[in-house]
Structure 1
């Protein structure tokens, strides 16, 4: 298995674990909260604004740990450059990620048109961000395994 494949598998697993644990923590903390009006929007704003740095910091730490463990286990050094194949795969993964997120955004706006609660819109937005990150990792993994 190549370095890029291992890195994408670790990224995929970490994305799922970070998002799942964060959603679980938010649910357990606020499951009995009865929010309405401005308080509801403040809650969802806080959920999203906390999710972003938590995800970034956790992914950076996990990637550093992966690099260290991979180096110790395999004596393999992280590639210091990206060739044309890496760049092409990254562009395809980014395109898939954007497509999935835009689809989720349109679904979220559609939920408002269908007169669903604002909480449904925020949940769809958050999950579309998560699914777009997963789609990006899966696309990269697929192209590293099967080719472009």
Structure 2
């Protein structure tokens, strides 16, 4: 298995774990008030903001740990350059990931047009961000295994 494949698998697993653990942590803190209370907006705003920051920091730490462990176990260094294949795979994965997130964003805005509760909008945004991250990692893994 190549470095890029292992990195994609680690990214996929870490994304799943970060999202699952954070959701399990935040679920009991959901406010009991009405659907339009300010506490509900505060909860969802905090949920999105902390999830974003936590995810970024966790991915940086996991990436550093992965590189340290990879170097200790294999004796190889992280590739210092990306060739055309790596760049093409990254572009394809980013494109698919962005399409999924933009579709989710439009769906979230559409939920407001059809008078759905604001919670539905936040849930759609969070889930589309999660699925776009998962899809990006799976796309990279697929293309590194099967080719472009």
TM-score range with shorter-chain normalisation? over 0.9
Q: Which residue of 1 aligns with 2:105?
A: 105
Structure 1 runs of 4+ with >4 Å offset: none
Tell me by how many angstroms 1:87 deviates: 0.6
Q: Which residue of 1 aligns with 2:63?
A: 63
Q: Which residue of 2 aligns with 1:75?
A: 75
5+ residue gaps, structure 2:
none
Where do residues 84-103 of structure 1 align in structure 2 (5 Å cutoff)?
84-103=84-103
> What is the alpha-carbon root mean square deviation over aligned residues?
1.2
5+ residue gaps, structure 1:
none
Deviates more, 1:132-141 or 1:102-111: 102-111
Q: Which residue of 2 aligns with 1:33?
A: 32
Q: Which residue of 1 aligns with 2:16?
A: 16
2-side partners of 1:34 and 1:2: how far apart? Answer: 51
Aligned residues: 147
TM-score, normalised by the number of residues in structure 2: 0.94
Aligned partner of residue 33 in structure 2, secondary structure: coil
Q: Which residue of 2 aligns with 1:44?
A: 44
